[in-house]
Amino acid sequence: MQRNRKVAMAVGLTAAATMVMTACGSGGDNGGGSNKTSGPRSSASNANGSDQSLAAAFNAATIGFVNKSDKTGGSLNLLATGDCDSWDPANTYYGWCWNMQRLFTRTLVGYSSKPGANNVAIEPDLATGLGEHNADFTEWTYKLKPNIKWEDGSTVTSKQVKYGVERVFATD
């Protein structure tokens, strides 16, 4: 009986020591928030426009581009462990779905997509500016950028944008 207890204690202590050593020896962030890890690096433009070399690391994309490509076109494949509540931009509620939809939708204005902006800056997208409002903020006027096209090459019109805004409120 005494021997079984000693064996069980030795096995438990060995398992605990193994987990501690594994956790301490894992390669990753050194705890200082540095993006300097051993891994692929690329020359990237940061939020200020200067080039810097970034390693593929946690949150590296908040300060610059990792493995930035100069190619255009192609396919974008996304992988997620769950589905969005709706892929229709007018019906989406979850923030991560909004962020994914920024890859294939356009809005009058939106959060900045520049690394380092932490998505707190609002900037024009389809609009030329952030809009002008009346005295009591009940009416807003936006001017569309010229030469904005749909995927078929036809011009985006203010009537189409108006329809998109109205359908947000007409859920039927």
- The answer to the question of residue 93 being in a domain is yes
Q: Which domain holds residue 136?
A: 80-172
- The answer to the question of residue 66 being in a domain is no
Residue 61 confidence (pLDDT) above 60: yes
- The answer to the question of residue 4 being in a domain is no
- The answer to the question of residue 135 being in a domain is yes
- The answer to the question of residue 108 being in a domain is yes
Residue 143: partners with Cβ closer than 8 Å, 6 or more residues away: 127, 128, 129
pLDDT at 68 (0 to 100): 78
pLDDT in tens, 7-47: 566 555 555 555 544 444 444 444 444 444 444 444 444 44
- The answer to the question of residue 107 being in a domain is yes
CATH assignment of the domain containing 133: 3.90.76
Structural domains of the chain, count: 1
pLDDT in tens, 101-139: 888 888 899 887 776 656 678 899 999 999 999 999 999
- The answer to the question of residue 160 being in a domain is yes
- The answer to the question of residue 73 being in a domain is no
Q: At 141, phi and psi to the nearest 5?
A: -120, 130
- Give the pTM: 0.55
